[in-house]
Amino acid sequence: MQNQKQLLIDYWRKEGIVRNPGIFSAFKKVKREFFVLKEFRSDAYKDVPLPIQKEQTISQPTAVVMMLEALELGPGMKVLEIGAGSGYNAALMAEIVGLKGKIITVERISELVHFAKENLKQCNIKNVEVIQGDGSKGYLKEAPYDRIICTAAAPEIPEVLASQLKERGVIVIPVGPLSGQVLVRARMVKGELHPEKLGDFMFVPLKGKFGQ
Ligand code: SAM
């Protein structure tokens, strides 16, 4: 399994997919095998999405690191994630932002809230808060955020999420219909979002008030 993990690291380095050294350290440290269902443990470092409860998925490792690279994460940041799923992405981000930073991750399915909390506990990760709710509305209580990442596809960038970003803050979100989406990174500058398209992706749908 360690060999498969190293192969992914080598691939991301060679292709220039990951540049932020914090992503490499976090990926080395966090055990993806703790975030997949028991029957899939031996597949933890295959570059594929894997099923979790309630017909949801833990995303493919390469898709995860591409999103994290786009997010321009650094130590001390406060991050909102929409779609906790297994908690794996939150665990990687928690390592990158460190103990002076914080991750708030919102998940709508109670079974997954429980799954994510248990997985994070097993890895002794303390700077992640898992909240049950409709993340398409963001999470006002802890706003504003340095970064917002949405791990499910939205029809457009919900305005309410943009309003919870700090000045110079960045949101990364797949946008588009269920048949296929574009990954978008947008930065808040002087109260206005500046979006750029990063490439085609396929995600599960964002549900809820501002979802599809
Ligand atoms: N980040 C996750 C991980 O590391 O395992 C993978 C996320 S999975 C691809 C997308 C998640 O978004 C699913 O768990 C789904 O239930 C959740 N989701 C979809 N719509 C949501 C909403 N409106 N609010 C919160 N979570 C939502």
Catalytic residues: 59
What is the domain count for the chain? 1
Closest CA to ligand 1's atom 2: 85
- Token pair for 22: 């914090």
Domain contains 196: yes
Domain contains 208: no
pLDDT at 33: 96
Domain contains 209: no
The tens digit of pLDDT for each residue in 66-91 reads 999 999 999 999 999 999 999 999 99
CATH number for the domain spanning 152: value is: 3.40.50.150
Alpha helices in the chain (DSSP H): 2-14, 21-29, 61-71, 88-97, 110-122, 159-162
Q: Candidates 81, 207, 209: which one to mutate for ligand 1, based on the most atoms within 8 Å of Cβ?
A: 207
The tens digit of pLDDT for each residue in 150-166 reads 999 999 999 999 999 99
1 band by pLDDT with thresholds 50, 70 and 90: confident
Domain contains 207: no
Q: Which domain holds residue 56?
A: 2-201
pLDDT at 178: 87
Domain contains 62: yes
The tens digit of pLDDT for each residue in 92-127 reads 999 999 999 999 999 999 999 999 999 999 999 999
| CB of 61 closer than 6 angstroms to any ligand 1 atom | no
pLDDT at 2: 75
The CA distance from 22 to 73, in Å, is 8
